[in-house]
Amino acid sequence: MAVGFYLKARHSFRARQSSAGLHSTAPNFSLPELNGHSLQLSDYRGKVVLLDFWATWCTPCREEIPHLVELQKKYRDQGLQIIGVSMDDSPEPVREFYRRFHMNYPVVMGNAGIGELYGGVLGLPIAFVIGRDGHISAKHIGATDASVLEQDIRGLLSQ
C-alpha cells in the first residue's frame, strides 16, 4: 500500500511537471493581488511576462527584487510585465515588503495549486519568461543574474 501511494505521488508529480514545459502555453491562473483584486495571467497576452515565484523569507529572491523593479521600469513601455507570485503563507509580510522596496509590478499570493500547475515550485526563486504569444520561453531555477533575464526579455520584446 505504501509503495502504491509512493508511485502514485511520483506519477502525479511528473505529470504536473510537463504542464509548464518550455515552449508550451503558460498555464492560466487567477489569483488575488495584495490589494484584493483578482489577477488573471491571460489578461497579459500580447505582453512579455516575467513570472517570478518568490517569498519574503527567501534571501536570493529578495536580492533579485531591486533588479526586477529596474527591469520593469526600463521595459514597461516596450511591453514588459513582471508578475510576482509570493509563496509566503500569509500576505502581511508581503505587503510590508512591497511598500518598503517600492515594488512597481503586481504581486499575487500563490498557493500549492499554482505551484503544481507550474510543475512544482519546490524551491525558490523560480522565474518563467513568457512571450507575447503566451508560450514559455525560458525557466530559471535559483538566483539568476539580472543580465540573463534582461537578455531573455529583450529577445522576446523585439519579436
Partner 1 sequence: MISKWTERIALAALITLLSTVVFDSQALGQATSLPSSHLINPEELVKVLQATKGEKPLMFQVGSYVLYAQAHIPGSDYVGPVTSELGLQQLRRRVESLPRTKFIVLYCGCCPWSHCPNVKPADDALHAMGFTNVKVLYLANNFGADWVEKGFPVAKGQ
By CB under 8 A, is residue 155 in contact with partner 1?
no
- Concerning whether 58 is annotated as a catalytic residue, the answer is yes
- Find the binding residues for partner 1 in span 5-24 (CB under 8 A): 5-6, 9-10, 12-13
CA dihedral angle for residue 150, residue 57, residue 136, residue 114, rounded to 10 degrees:
-160
Judged by CB under 8 A, the residue of 25, 27, 69, 104 near partner 1 is 69
Return the residue matching grid coordinates 536570493.
60
By CB under 8 A, is residue 70 in contact with partner 1?
yes
- Concerning whether 61 is annotated as a catalytic residue, the answer is yes
Residue 121, Cβ neighbours under 10 Å: how many?
21
* 157: exposed, middle or buried (Cβ count in 10 Å: 0-12, 13-18, 19+): middle
By CB under 8 A, is residue 1 in contact with partner 1?
no
The catalytically annotated residue of 61, 83, 121, 126 is: 61
Asked whether the beta carbons of 46 and 79 are under 8 A apart, the reply is yes
The whole-angstrom separation of Cα 12 and Cα 56 is: 29
Crossing angle of the two packed helices 146-157 and 59-75, in degrees rounded to 10: 30
- Find the binding residues for partner 1 in span 97-126 (CB under 8 A): 100-102, 110-112, 115-116, 120-124
In angstroms, what is the minimal distance from the CB of 127 to partner 1?
14
* Catalytic site positions: 58, 61
Could you list the residues that contact partner 1 (CB under 8 A)?
2, 5-6, 9-10, 12-13, 55, 57-63, 65-67, 69-70, 73, 87-89, 100-102, 110-112, 115-116, 120-124, 141-143
